[in-house]
Structure 1
Amino acid sequence: MSLHRGGVADRVHYSTPLTLLLLVASITFPATAQPVLLDYAPHGEVNPFTGVVAWSTDRMPSSISMEWAFVGLSDVLPSCDAPTNLDWSSVEAALSEHAARGHQTILRPVTIGPGYGAGSYAPAGMPTRALVYDGQSFQNPRWEQSVVKSCILSFISAFALRYRTDARVAYVQMGLFGLWGEHHLDDAAAYDGRNFPSADDQAEYINTFIDGFGTGPNDISCGISWDSGQVHGPFASHPELLGRRFHIFDDSLLIRKHSSADNWRQNALPAQLRASQAAYGMGGEFYWTRCNSNGRWATIAPYDCGNDESLSDQASRLFLNYALGSPAVTSGNVQAVDVLRGSKSMGWELSATEVEIIGDANVRVSFRNTGAAPLPYQLHACLSTTRDLVEGELECLELPLLTPAAYHTLTWTLPSALPAGRDTTLFLSLEALSRLPPTFSRPLLSNAGISAQYRDLPISVMTTPPAPTPTPSPTSSSTTTVAPTTTTTGAPTPAPTTTTTSPLTTAAPTPAPTAAPTSTPPPATTTGA
């Protein structure tokens, strides 16, 4: 494999999905130097997996990174009598359309979607009963019948098998149950195991989703409605689910008294669900009336839809990575600059905080998550001495899934000692693995000095060792140790984790997310040898 970082057209040729270069100021170091602080500066773009999400639209493409699509069950699976006869054309059309605009997609399968297309999406051969909502009748699966369960499980497995490694997909929301796949029926029917799945069946569906799409740090993150944390959900009788990797989404962000003690979200079960999954971030949708319907979340400061908490404050409190902003975006009620501001108030943001040269062959870089939410997928930081690389010259170390305000420090041992008495240029990069398509081209780091042409700035170093030192042997592996930190209120406390990878390795153990500190600590030291 060859990696070339020369001109714009052929700056990067790679077999891994993405190489993005880290921006670091040119600095000259003595043999052992004090850390040099790097300046933070937002890059002005929307980070992948974050921000305002729109229904399919060609409006304001630079203000969003994701679009959203329902997956009607019967559109893909016409009949439960032929569970292997699947038609993915509607899903493929949405993914291709969104990818052509440089966007990834959030997919949610549904059986009932009032106001969307047919409204009822039960396949032929699936027993149903009428469910009346807002004066209209919809065909709700008879969830107590075994044919419904087997048909749904067959679909979930096929869905995961087809799209598990598809970089066009940012997230999958575990829908299918209730109105719009949001795990609630409102007052339309009772949660009796007939109109809605039993807790045992819900647990089986959830496990099938998560196992199908994967549990590793680069596997698609599945989300489930926060309503699933109420008494009709599965978690009271299946607490083991709380230890699984998934995120939650809330279909009524910015609703009045969202954070109040008397809001159902602060009840014991929903609060426990959020706390258990906080390290994986959160998604959602702005609530409809006088908020998403007219775009007030983006147009009238303080962007709280007239309620008691601004979008930026709620994003920080909830670790919010994304929020559906249609119909406001697609109807033209908001401007691109307003949507971009909303997008930038959500999600993770990664910056390099300092660089240090140790001896004549070690480079240490510290990173910090300066955003509102955890990294949902794993990144690798890579170091080289040239832009023209052959396989084996690029050594990559894992970054853990940093939560907001958390630091992590990586140390590289170079293949040979830096030459004494003259400048040497190093190149530091970030690599995303399978979660981003090769065509992705937006900046990824938030530091001053980013190059618009190359998206990098080289590190110019000079060492003057006091005495000759032996040349270190090239390293064939690197180790990172996540230092334990304190946690933000409501977030789980993960154990310190040590992970080991070889350069350019794309398969890695699942790192436990690093919890956010309650105050700003000095960077924790983490080494790779």
Structure 2
Amino acid sequence: MPTPILIAVLVPLMTGLAAVADDMRPVPLKAKVTHVQPMTGIVLWSTNEAAASSPIQLEFRYFGYDEVVREEGMYDWSAVERFLDDVAGRGHQAVLRWHDTYVGKPSSVPPYIRALEGYRGQTAKSEGKPTGFPDWSHPELRRFTLEFFDRFAARYDRDPRLAFLEVGFGLWSEYHLYDGPMEMGRTFPSLEYQRDFANHLSKRLAQTPWMVSVDAAGEWSPFAKDKALLALPFGVFDDSFNCVQHARENEPNWDALGRDRWKIAPAGGEFSFYERKDQRDALAPAGPHGESFEHEAARFHLTFILGDAQPRFQKPDRIREASMACGYRFRVARFEASPTRSEVTVENKGVAPIYHDAFPAVNGVRSNDSLKGLLPGQSRTFAIASGGESPKLTIESDRLVRGQRIEFDADLP
């Protein structure tokens, strides 16, 4: 049994050795972000041949409900699976949008609902094309739509192949019927049902960010005047992003839905089709109407923008450069390690946060804290239970597909 004198000698000695063993030292680190970062940038349609070779991270597709459900209670997700597998096979992730009404197409209401007694869907011209309009007065369509997103969320909410989900009603799910039979409660869902739908989605989707059109700020939707709805964590997309009338027609909708919404959910959209030059000059130095894309991306804190035509107008280097102006960009400002642990300070130098969990990791050991929600200009320090003589720092996320990597800048001597 140790004597009191021996204990008095050993305790300070052991404490001192432990302190020496755990001394933190700066770790030299040089790194550079050289690629478009996962879940950001210019988006191409999955059917675009350039999707396989362009410097992108995201691909887009519309889906109709009848592509999954044709008979009551019978869900066939094979079309969605093929799409997600194809996208992930190219090392990308998906932006997916469900629609009920699409110009020139029948409504995507499942056939079993269209055949029910009392269902009164209609076909009318929109933009000069015969277009199917749903009957939102029928209770089964309303019930089914909520059930559909129950099933969708249960299957895909944590799926790394899916980055963002876009939802809505009306033409292209953009919360409007500017050309066609617009009748609240019939061809377009009632305000009450729209509230139910938004609240339902907010409860079901715990991981995947969901987005609505900026046109949801209009008179046919309850969002802009309902504080409870505005408090939901939805993002916004703007499918006429760089049109000449954007400042007077679109931007007020961004304001109405909350100009700081990007802090909790993604902002995205699509380059405008109003004028030919909106697509042709989208990435020109001064854009189509006097503002560069980089400036717009920073001003609206964009994470992504659909620009399917851009491979026809721009070289890959320009698409890469514009894409890297979107979303997050991490910089390691401090990296210190001991034999047993590390501390890392990471700053976001981008224009938006990352909206999925991502963790600084040393030698494969992750921090308990996530980079999710780290705002531009902010930094966060992470404690990691791994160190050593030559510690390796990475940023890891379960939301990546094979071939993707989150990069960071660093210049630590």
Q: Considering the TM-score relative to the shorter chain, is it more than 0.5?
A: yes
Residues 248 and 395 (structure 1), Cα distance of their counterparts in 2 relative to 1, 3 Å cut = closer
Instruction: Tell me if the contact between 1:286 and 1:292 (Cα under 8 Å) persists in the aligned partners.
Output: no
Among candidates 299, 310, 321, match of residue 341 of structure 1: 321
TM-score (norm 2): 0.83
Task: Report what 1:16 is aligned to.
Answer: none
User: Pick from 313, 319, 322: which aligns with 2:295?
Assistant: 313
Write 1 or 2 for the structure with the bigger share of helix: 2
142, 145, 158: which one aligns with 2:138: 145
1:129 lines up with 2:122 in the alignment? yes
Q: Is contact 2:27–2:337 with CA below 8 Å preserved after alignment?
A: no
Contact 1:37 1:353 in 2 (8 A): no
Q: How far, CA to CA, are the matches of 1:308 and 1:428 in structure 2?
A: 42
Give structure 1 stretches of 5+ with no counterpart.
Answer: 1-29, 388-392, 419-423, 450-458, 460-529
Aligned mate of 1:284, from 269, 275, 283: 269
**Residues 78-477 of structure 1: matches in 2 within 5 Å?**
78-79=70-71, 82=72, 84-114=73-103, 118-124=105-111, 125-126=113-114, 127=119, 128-175=121-168, 177-190=169-182, 192-214=184-206, 219-236=207-224, 238-258=226-246, 260=247, 262-266=248-252, 270-275=254-259, 277-279=261-263, 280-290=265-275, 294-298=279-283, 300-302=284-286, 304-305=287-288, 307-329=289-311, 332-356=312-336, 363-384=342-363, 396-412=368-384, 424-433=389-398, 435-437=399-401, 439-447=402-410
In 2: Cα distance, 1:442 partner to 1:399 partner = 15
Please tell me the residue identity of whatever aligns with 1:273: L
Task: Point out where structure 2 has 5 or more consecutive residues left out of the alignment.
Answer: 1-21
Q: What is the CA–CA distance in structure 2 between the aligned matches of 1:151 and 1:157, rounded to whole Å? A: 10
Q: Mark the CA change 1:290 to 1:339 in structure 2 (over 3 Å): closer, same or farther.
A: farther
Moved more, 405-414 or 362-371: 405-414
1:249 partner amino acid: F
Distance 2:196 2:155 in 1: 20
1:408 CA displacement: 1.2
Aligned to 2:8: none
Tell whether the 8 Å contact from 1:379 to 1:399 is kept in structure 2 after alignment. yes
Question: Post-superposition shift, 1:292?
Answer: 7.6
Distance 2:318 2:276 in 1: 14
The offset of 1:246, in angstroms, is 1.9
Residue pair 1:322, 1:347 contacting (<8 A) in 2 also: yes
> 3-state DSSP class of the match of 2:373?
coil
Moved more, 320-329 or 234-243: 234-243
> Residue deviations 1:441-473, cap 9 Å, x none?
334223359xxxxxxxxx9xxxxxxxxxxxxxx
1:479 is matched with: none
- State the 1:213 CA deviation: 2.2
Q: For residues 316 and 156 of structure 2, what CA distance do their matches in structure 1 show?
A: 31
Selected match of 1:77 from 50, 69, 73: 69
What per-residue deviation string (whole Å, max 9, x for no partner) do you get for residues 174-227 of structure 1? 13x11011111114333522221111101111222232221xxxx111111111
Compared CA separation, residues 252 and 341, structure 1 to 2 (3 A): same
Shift, 1:37, TM fit: 9.3
* Shift in Å, 1:230: 1.8
Identify if the C-alpha distance between structure 1 residues 401 and 232 changes in structure 2 by more than 3 Å, giving closer, same or farther. same
**2:15 matched residue in structure 1:** none
Amino acid at match of 1:274: G
Q: Distance in 2 between matches of 1:97 and 1:194?
A: 37
Counterpart Cα distance in 2 of 1:383 and 1:238: 45
Give, in whole Å, the separation in 2 of the partners of 1:369 and 1:37. Answer: 20
Deviation at residue 107 of structure 1 after TM alignment:
0.9
Q: Secondary structure at the match of 2:60?
A: strand
Aligned-partner Cα distance in 2 for 1:361–1:100: 38
Counterpart of 1:252 in 2: which secondary structure? coil
Q: How many residues align?
A: 383
SS of 2:360's equivalent in the other structure is: strand
Letter in 2 for 1:341: E
The letter for the 2-side match of 1:410 is F
Q: Aligned-residue CA RMSD in angstroms?
A: 2.8
Post-superposition offset of 1:266: 2.1
Q: Are 1:67 and 2:53 an aligned pair?
A: no
1:283, 1:323 within 8 Å by CA — same for their partners in 2? yes
SS of the residue 2:259 aligns to: helix
